[in-house]
Amino acid sequence: MRLHRLFHVLLAMCLGIALLAGRLLWLQTWGSSPRGAAADATAMSVRQRTQGVTLDPGRGHIADRRGEPLTGETVNGLLLLPGGAERMTDADRRSLARILNVPTMRLVDEWRKVDRPAWWNPDARDGGKSPSPLTPEQAAGIRGLRLSGATVASAVRRYPERRLAAHLVGFVAEQPERMTAMYGQRLTDGQLRLSTPIGASGLELAFDRLLHGAGETRIVSYVDGRGEPLNGLGVKTAGTSNPYYPLRLISTVDAAAQRAVEAAADAAGLTEGAVVVLDVATSDIVAMASRPAYEADRLTPQGSDWANRAIRAVAPGSIMKSFVAAAALEEGVVQPDETFDCDGTYGRYGLTCWKEGGHGHLTFAEALAESCNIAFAEVGERLSGETLQRYGIELGVVGAVGWKGVSDLDGKPLLHLPEEQPGRAFAGSPSAADGGVLAQTAIGQRDARWTPLAAANWMATLVRGGAPASPRAATELQYADGHAAERYDARRLPGGADAISPATSRVLRGMLEGVVASGTGASLQNAAWPLAGKSGTAEATVDGRDVVHQWFIGYGPADKPKYAVAVLAERRPTGSANRATAVFEAVMNALAALPE
């Protein structure tokens, strides 16, 4: 009986050992990579036991056409560890405070607030997620102290302190809801975190899905269940290694031209508006500036400084006359030497000329130079709404003109300027446009809306003899080794065929040169280059206040065009001098001064 019981006990023990061995075998073979809820629990367990800061989010960077970085600046910062202030001697606290040029008590007080590794940056609004850059002398001095509770570390700061093309490049921000909706699988795989910044505007938004890297690099410390540091484990660097990442987006921006354009626009007093500079040969964006400027760490959802006014549509005013002239000349409803009489009033629709008493007897070419409302209202009525709409689409002032295509990497649609507002000639059906609508539209009022990008592109199209193109903001996405991941070839506008003939283009270019020679652009005669273009003033009401949007669009040098430029000065006082013309001259002079 005793032997029988002993046999059963031994059998039970053997079965238990066999079960444990089987479980161990399963864990070592099939169970080593947890899935589903188990994986989430494992990842959560690790994250709860590590705290740290990001050194490099692994996001791809953006460069100008020659490779000069527009994002991605490596800086040295002071990394503070929890409890580090208490582990320092009084002498070390004083020495560190002296190096940082802050009172010792402020250093200690700020440090005691740290409950996880954080950068020293007491004036930042991001809770220590980004460092306050150290000078080389400061970094060397801190390293010399050999502190145990703080260390000098290098981090990638997304945007340089003095940013270029800020509105075109855009910015990144933490957007957990959008992150979950768009990149749920990458979150599950651990490639991204809810706190990983993603593109919120500009090229950062347009190429967001392509700029994500292989993972971030972090400095982490290990803590127990109560969040207390685990002694002995110290601080470690954690990250991934992939020779192809991060990617780099090569933009069409010329950094030297961008600096010159921004400085010229600011010096000429552009406080609200935009400047667009295109290469006339390709319509590539050489420079793009929007004002007012913004600081990425001070953005608010309600703020308007982040909006890129270069791709926002407003009333064009008299710059629309250059487009109406092109359509009318091409349709043969007017000739450059046809004469008109302007006494200051049109006689219907309540339409008047901007010049009191009128321009008298003048040709159509002179009407463009003097920006006569009466002559263009009459010509506008000779064209149908459908005709103006068709030319508007083909010449790129109706609809969106920015580059659009499909990414070779993921096969999804790709827009270089996803925030671009479409231009328009009419708010309703073009076929319903009566004489009054046509007359008002012909002078750039009523429902007409243009973006500075479209206006500059129209000038480039004119210079090319009527061949329309879609402005590009980028030419190539590169792997880390410099090889192309995909290229963005130049594209024509969807209309395809040239909307106006080279002959019409030549006639109209001569008329635009006349604007500067003897018309509303006469103040540009002393510019560094001979210039051609058209001014415009559009009446508008903003917040119940009457204002004007002032424009100047054109190209230079007039005899051998290199750049097409559009300037918009928004919300200017009624009756004020055309600020856009002054900015246009300053920008063209700055471009003329650039080395070849």
Could you tell me if residue 4 is left (phi over 0), alpha (psi between -120 and 50 degrees) or otherwise beta? alpha
Using the CB atoms, write b or e for 214-232: b if 16+ within 10 Å.
Answer: bbbbbbbbbbeeeeebeee
Average pLDDT across each block of 10 residues of the chain; the chain has 596 residues. List them in order: 59 66 53 43 45 77 96 90 86 93 92 86 73 93 90 88 92 90 86 86 96 74 54 58 85 98 97 97 97 66 73 97 97 96 93 94 96 96 96 94 95 97 96 95 96 98 94 96 94 78 96 96 97 96 92 97 98 95 98 94
The answer to whether 122 and 50 are in contact (CB under 8 A) is no
pLDDT of residue 21: 60
The answer to whether 581 and 587 are in contact (CB under 8 A) is no
Question: Is the four-CA dihedral 400, 405, 407, 411 of positive or negative sign?
Answer: positive
pLDDT of residue 115: 80
* Angstrom distance (rounded) from CA 210 to CA 477: 9
Using the CB atoms, write b or e for 106-130: b if 16+ within 10 Å.
Answer: ebbebbeebebbbbbbeeeeeebbb
237: its two tokens? 């660097």
* Angstrom distance (rounded) from CA 67 to CA 195: 29
Q: What are phi and psi of 570, to 5 degrees?
A: -85, 155
The answer to whether 319 and 445 are in contact (CB under 8 A) is no
Tokens 């560190």 belong to 96
pLDDT of residue 38: 44
Q: What are phi and psi of 61, to 5 degrees?
A: -105, 170
Residue 149: half-sphere exposure toward Cβ, Cα within 13 Å: 19
Strand partners, 285: 278
Question: Is the four-CA dihedral 259, 260, 261, 267 of positive or negative sign?
Answer: positive
- Nearest alpha carbon to residue 380 among 346, 404, 405: 346
Count other C-beta atoms under 10 Å from residue 399's C-beta: 16
Give the C-alpha distances (Å, rounded to integers) separating 59 from 71, 416, 418, 425, 473.
10, 18, 20, 40, 19
The answer to whether 280 and 464 are in contact (CB under 8 A) is yes
Helix (H, G, I), strand (E, B) or coil at 131: coil
Q: Kindly tell me the burial class for residue 497, based on how many C-beta atoms sit within 10 Å of its own C-beta (0-12, 13-18, 19 or more).
A: exposed
pTM score of the predicted model: 0.85
The answer to whether 80 and 111 are in contact (CB under 8 A) is yes
Tokens 């040709």 belong to 363
Largest CA distance in the chain: 132
pLDDT of residue 113: 87
